[in-house]
Amino acid sequence: MTDSNEKDWSQLAANDDETSAEMAEEAEMAEEADVTEPSDEPDYSDLAGVLEHPNYKALEAKLTEAEQQAHDNYDRALRAMSELENTRKRLEKEKTNALKYGVERLINDMLPIVDSLEQALQTTDGESEAFKSIYKGVELTYQMFLDHLAKHQVSQLDPLGETFDPNQHEAMSMQDDPNVAPNTVIMVFQKGYLLHDRVIRPARVVVSKGPSKKIDEIA
């Protein structure tokens, strides 16, 4: 073999080695690209459970349960709001009554004093010179009490001649009286009193029965 042929074979061998090295390098780069570069194709592995055919009965049961729970919560909210409104109204009413009728106990304690002054006026002869000044003083004191009671919205119940009202009057007895209609107050034992629209003491009265029929008329 000549020197020229040996040289050609050596060149071919070198070329083959270089080609093999390039191919190996390209293969290694391709492997690295497979590892480092993400794939363009989407991964549906996580959606496998989602894409399963749904159980419509189970979904319907859950929906019904959710609707029932929502309805119960709505009812509880309405009841809570109603109770809150009732509590607010009750407290407002109690506040109003406390301001309006807060002096009721004090007025009740003062009424016996007013009754005593009134009885003193009824049993004293105001025309007598000996008691005229005393009568005038008692009368002024009595009127002063009534004026102060009126400032607190307290008014007297003096129902003489009026129709008997069980809400404001207390019947002590009944008497025949042909001159008045039945259930008419013909005598007032003790006057009553109102605080605003509330009866703090009813008037004690005698009520007429009306004319009674004679035995001859009944026969």
List pLDDT tens digits, range 137-172: 899 999 999 999 999 899 999 999 999 999 999 999
pLDDT of residue 130: 74
Asked if the structure places residue 129 within a domain, the reply is no
Average pLDDT over residues 111-138: 85
Task: Name the phi and psi angles at 70, rounded to 5.
Answer: -65, -40
Sequence-distant (≥ 6) Cβ neighbours of residue 147 within 8 angstroms? none
H/E element holding 68? Answer: helix 56-101
pLDDT band at 218 (very low <50, low <70, confident <90, very high): very low
Q: Which tens digit of pLDDT belongs to each residue from 179-207?
A: 889 999 999 999 999 999 899 999 999 99
Asked if the structure places residue 177 within a domain, the reply is yes
Asked if the structure places residue 203 within a domain, the reply is yes
Give the pair of three-digit tokens for residue 178. 């042909």
Asked if the structure places residue 199 within a domain, the reply is yes
Range of the domain at 179: 155-212
Asked if the structure places residue 48 within a domain, the reply is no
Which residues in 180-212 are b (16+ Cβ under 10 Å) and which e?
eeebbbbebebbbbbbeeebbbbbbbbbbbeee
Q: Indicate yes or no: pTM above 0.75.
A: no
Strands 203-208 and 192-195: unpaired
3-class secondary structure, 18 = helix
Instruction: Please answer whether residues 169 and 185 qualify as being in contact, where contact means their C-beta atoms are separated by less than 8 angstroms.
Output: yes
Strand arrangement of the beta sheet that strand 198-201 belongs to:
154-157, 192-195, 198-201
Strands 203-208 and 169-175: parallel
Q: Which tens digit of pLDDT belongs to each residue from 14-68?
A: 555 666 666 667 666 666 555 445 555 666 565 555 555 667 888 888 888 888 8
Query: Number of folded domains in the chain?
Result: 1
Q: Which domain CATH number covers 198?
A: 2.30.22.10
Higher per-residue confidence, 84 vs 213: 84
68 CB-side CA count, 13 A: 6
Asked if the structure places residue 176 within a domain, the reply is yes
Give the amino acid at 36. T
